[in-house]
Structure 1
Amino acid sequence: TYWRNRIKNSSTPTLIFDLAREIINETKILNTHTKRVLDSTVLVDAVITQDTMTQIVAQVKRVRKLIPELASVPLSDEIDYARAKPAIDYSDEDLINETLSILVRDANALIERARELGYLRDDEDRVTDSPLTTQQLGALGLLGVVAGQDVELVDEERGAYRLTRGVAKDRVISTVDPESRHVHKSRKNYYDGYKGHIAIDADTEIITGATLTKGNASDAFVAKELLDHESESVSVYGDSGYSSMELSKHLKDHGHDEVIKPRPLAMAVPDGYSVDDFIVTEPTTETPAKVTCPAGHTVSLSAKGRASFTKYCATCPLRDRCTRSKRGRVMTFGPNHSYGRAQRESWKDEETKAAYRAIRPGVERIHAQMKRKLNGSKLRYRGIAKNTMHYLLLGTVWNLKVLLRNNLTRENGNWVIAS
């Protein structure tokens, strides 16, 4: 614990993983290998997910404990803050919203008092030369988040709130670990925790890059960090989670080859016409951009990328294969459209798909081994900083196992791979 905290708080929090990378570079085991496979996996957090009321109650108590000046702010007598959660009938929606309103008003009272004391600015909850510590400021900020992320104002005069429908973007799921997030593996299945990201060399199975993020982080965005240490051009393999125009541009700018599976196309009608069956004509100085449908009808593309074929759909013989909408087909072409079309076109090459199928699955086995044999499926700590160190330690252990399997030895003061 002592040394973990020292490394975490130092200027080199990735020290152990970097030292192992130095050994790898010294052995030159990667010199002739240029295939990098990217992947991410879900790592379950070490805390219990809390509902909205539990989070507000916990954070109100924490703020009053950490900031003595706010302990004197009166709270509602209708809430027993000695309990972790209000003892009410949770089948009564009106009672739920009434209790929620009281909790939100108490939280807002603490935040308002903090503003009056000069801890927060009036227009925004941002600090300006506050006398509070980082821990105290963080507690105040988290109180504002949990008291506002799942609620909507119903009556401003009465201060009435209710739970919002759906899930807030980037929702905090626990005040014990505010950096943990919902991780969706599919539309129906999700976990709570973080994502572990790795880049491996497909031939040697050495992990060349690793990091840990919140569970809702984009794989494509993290990919750039995983490839930062590549000094030479490599071929990058990844599933459809890495399909991004920004990542593609980054790879081209750094001389890397892209072998990334395209995202599946959504079709309005199963086995019907997709967006790739519509021909987009680029604009010229004299004519605007145009879109032609499979039936040969052409319409202009608006400035916002919208193309409407509704005036043709009523009598179109191909309508049943094109749209289910009563008014007809209306499409929006975003800035990534041309990239997506080009990527799907290149994916038709059988050699590319064969190489992907042969190389890409290997990274899944490494993640499985890190989870099962190195006991890495469930995280042990709270927060990104400590869990990143833990995840990088698992990656370091894996790399050392691979090196020893390849006869790592010491010769004349240097690390080498024995023949």
Structure 2
Amino acid sequence: MAIKRWSPSQIVSRQEKFILGRLKRNGKLYAFLRLHRDQLFDDAFQRELETMYRDNGTGKDPHPPALLAMVVLLQSYAGASDATAVELSLLDLRWQMVLDCLGTVEPLFSQGALFDFRQRLIAADLDRRLLERSRELARETKAFDPKKLPKTLRVAMDSSPLEGAGRVEDTVNLLGHAGRKIVACVAGLLHWTEARVCREAGCPLLLAASVKQGLDLDWSDPDEKATAIPTLIEQLTELEQWVAAHLPDELTRPPLDEHVATLRQIIGQDLEPDPGGSGRLRIRQGVAEDRRVSIEDKEMRHGRKTKSKRFNGYKRHLAIDLDTLLVLAVAVLPANRPEQDAAPSLVADITSQGLTIAALYIDRGYINAPVVDEILARRGRVICRPWLAHNGTHFSKRDFTLNMRDRTITCPAGEQQPIVLGAKVEFPADTCRACSLRGKCTDAGLDRGRSVAIADNELLQHRLRKQAATPQGRRELRERVPIEHRQAHTCRRQGRHARYLGTRKNEFDLRRASAVSNLEVIQRLLEAQSTRAARAVARAA
């Protein structure tokens, strides 16, 4: 097996000149990719891509990896599926120009080749390099003043919701879906029909178009509704026992063991014993921690971006350089994971490029990330809005005076108490009971005084509050706005709904979307430079 290297022509043909001339308003990135493809996929980067393949002298020769990497970028730019990408490479002159195949009548690649390449790219973590390469291109094309590409950066981080691609179901349907997965797997192993498996295993409910249809209950009647879960669980238990008796060896191996584990996971997270002492199970009151919401996508989770905005799926995280607006690193995590969990991955990808974060612009979700302490320890800067304490119509924490040097807190009436980080300050009950401001301060009983919670990072919060109180501090907080614009642009590019199942594949999709976004930034800057140069020449003439 020989690995071919992509060597597109650097000479612009007459037909390409015509196409480039038509791309001055729309589709400008096609023109940029055509003119800079040899720089983007230089020999060094092509050698990196070739490491995904083993050259053992056997097997079918793979397509040039750089060619398929370019297709991956074009897919993201055009929002094209694998099947559509194959057709566009044959029917769209812009695609043909970029891929150096104008006039071709045979597909350069197949859907299977694209799928295989994507899997290899993810396994080798080279989608990360594709994103990094877009930033390297900014330096090579001189799109930025070299002073704007230092090794120490002002970095901003932000997150946005990404709705998962898996179907979200309620408890009854999750249980039924998990049971059907077992039935389908058993049918494949035994070469039976699914209907036969259901009859033999004693789970006829799974034969119905939907479990709720099979139960045929009056769901408005609480007594009938209460019988749904016990009836379904009884049949699912019969199914699991039948599988254990007839396929004991297969039950310990994939994929059957995975499907059975999924069923047990749903039962464990969504059901609880009936407190009435009937010995039956009922739907859990409240939501289990880390609850699985989809059978098809096991990593999707419930999440919320704000108190009122809920979603199911993932959070996508971006880290950008505020001076160039280039995306440096990305991460995708289940929606229930806090923002601070994404920071280590983002920082690792940034430092692997030989870059250092001098100033970090974040929102409050990232404030407890380890990188915050690391930056402060080396005398870097963290710019973030402080937590604001609220206490209804009573005095809030902001009405108290904190002295972080002496570690004391003083109430509006002048009473002072020592503080301990991470603990709660309790003012004396006798002092509060006699205070004339008590009605404005607390509703606690007469045997208790006012209490104030002191955060573990109170020293940092105190510093952030002082920053936000100055004009310069508020101006610095507004400097984080570009990452919100970049998130909105990425959302339009990638879409609000995930293209793939699972965290890693969606991270790949976010990386290529961010790479395309970076290339668009470079294209606009080079275009602006060209326009300024042309105007200067015109003025000189």
Normalising TM by the smaller chain, what interval? Answer: 0.7 to 0.9
CA shift for structure 1 position 195: 1.1
Rounded Cα–Cα distance in structure 1 between residues aligned with 2:515 and 2:278:
57
Distance 1:92 1:254 in 2: 64
Q: TM-score, normalised by structure 1?
A: 0.79
- TM value normalised by structure 2: 0.62
Question: Residue 149 of structure 2 aligns with which residue?
Answer: 31
Q: State yes or no: 1:99 paired with 2:228.
A: yes
Structural RMSD (CA): 3.8
Bigger radius of gyration: 2
In 2, are the aligned partners of 1:56 and 1:147 still within 8 Å (CA)? yes
Asked if the contact 1:97/1:161 (under 8 Å) is kept, the reply is no
Quote how far apart the aligned CAs of 1:25 are. 5.8
Cα deviation for residue 302 of structure 1 reads 9.5
CA distance in 2, matches of 1:380, 1:183: 18
Cα distance in structure 2, aligned partners of 1:395 and 1:281: 42
Report if aligned partners of 2:320, 2:326 keep a CA contact under 8 Å in 1.
yes
The structural deviation recorded for 1:86 is 1.9
Match for residue 350 of structure 1?
Answer: 471
Quote how far apart the aligned CAs of 1:403 are. Answer: 1.9
How big is the shift at 1:131? 4.0
Name 1:56's counterpart in structure 2. Answer: 175
Instruction: Name the structure 2 match of 1:82.
Output: 208
Q: How far apart, in 1, do the equivalents of 2:312 and 2:331 lie?
A: 18
Please give the alpha-carbon distance, in whole angstroms, between the structure 2 residues aligned to 1:334 and 1:106. Answer: 51
- Determine helix, strand or coil for the equivalent of 2:211: coil
Cα 1:19–1:96, aligned 2, differ >3 Å: closer, same or farther? farther
Query: What residue in structure 1 maps to residue 395 of structure 2?
Result: 272
Which structure dedicates a bigger proportion of its chain to helix?
A: 2
Match of 1:305 in 2: 423
Query: Cα distance, 1:297 vs. partner?
Result: 4.6
**C-alpha distance after superposition, 1:27-82 (max 9, x if no partner):** 6755237221111111222233210110011101212333569x6884466x4543
The aligned residue for residue 117 of structure 2 is 3
Q: Could you tell which deviates more after superposition, 145-154 or 102-111?
A: 102-111
Residues 14, 279 of structure 1: alpha-carbon distance in 2 compared, 3 angstrom cutoff: closer
Taking a change above 3 Å as real, the CA distance of residues 167 and 157 of structure 1, as seen in their structure-2 partners, is: closer
Where does residue 138 of structure 1 map in the other structure?
258
**Distance in 2 separating the partners of 1:152 and 1:199:** 42
The answer (yes or no) to whether the contact 1:273–1:321 under 8 Å persists in 2 is no
Hey, what does 1:163 align to over in structure 2?
283
User: Quick one: structure 1 residues 208 and 290, their matched pair in 2 at CA, closer, same or farther if it must change by over 3 Å?
Assistant: closer
Q: 1:155 to 1:5 in 2, by over 3 A?
A: same
String of CA shifts for 1:214-268, please: whole Å, max 9, x gaps: 1122212212322222333421111222222644213335664211222222x22
Q: What is residue 376 of structure 2 aligned with on the other side?
A: 252
Map Cα deviations across residues 91-127 of structure 1 (whole Å, 9 max, x no partner).
233333321233345555666788899989xxxxxxx
Q: 1:206 to 1:168 in 2, by over 3 A?
A: same
Distance change (3 Å), C-alpha of 1:235 and 1:41: same
Task: Name structure 2 gaps, 5 residues minimum.
Answer: 1-114, 191-196, 528-541
SS in 1 for 2:227: helix
C-alpha separation between the residues in 2 aligned to 1:6 and 1:12?
8
Question: Does 1:385 find its partner at 2:508?
Answer: no
SS at match of 1:387: helix
Contact 1:219/1:242 (8 A) holds in 2:
yes
| CA distances 1:321-377 after superposition (whole Å, capped 9, x unpaired) | 2223445534444534444334333433331221221x11111112222222x2522
Aligned residues: 390
Could you tell me which of 270, 282, 295 is aligned with 2:413? 295
Higher relative contact order (CA 8 A, sep 6+): 1
Counterparts of 2:297 and 2:413, CA distance in 1: 55
1:37, 1:363 within 8 Å by CA — same for their partners in 2?
A: yes
Higher strand share: 1
Aligned to 2:184: 65
Q: Which residue matches 2:46?
A: none
SS, match of residue 203 in structure 1: coil
Change (3 A) 1:295 1:63: farther
Alignment of 1:171-210 (within 5 A): 171-210=291-330
